[in-house]
Amino acid sequence: MHTTTHNRPVSTTCTAVFAPLRERLAREVSSSAMLADLLDKLNQMQEACARPADFKLCFDVFVIRAADHADIIQTFLPELIRFLPKDAQQKASFEYRLAEGREAKDLTWDVA
């Protein structure tokens, strides 16, 4: 029987996405106050990953707060988008593809 990553339990998938992002933020964000705030937002997002509507609210807050660190979070966005409600995934995915061509410092993120 072939098992894809889409069939994994949400908690396993959450850990697989959030742990490396948490580690990278800890390595690359120099301000301890900013790091604490980003990790708090990240924790809220992880707690909500099994609830797409709640996750979307947490995702929006995290992305806005992390805007100055787009170069860090950009590589994690495709995986994070998978936890959004289906209607928000298409818009977010499209906007991510548009932003890929920009330099990280110019990255803006708008998820409705």
pTM for the model: 0.69
Q: 85: phi > 0 → left, psi -120 to 50 → alpha, else beta; which?
A: beta
- Residue 18 pLDDT grade (very low, low, confident, very high; cuts 50, 70, 90): very high
> Pick the residue with more confidence: 84 or 43?
43
Q: What is the model's pLDDT at position 11?
A: 53
pLDDT (average), residues 10-30:
85
At 56-95, the pLDDT tens digits run 999 999 999 999 999 999 999 999 988 888 776 555 544 4
* Contact criterion met (CB below 8 Å) for 105 and 71: yes
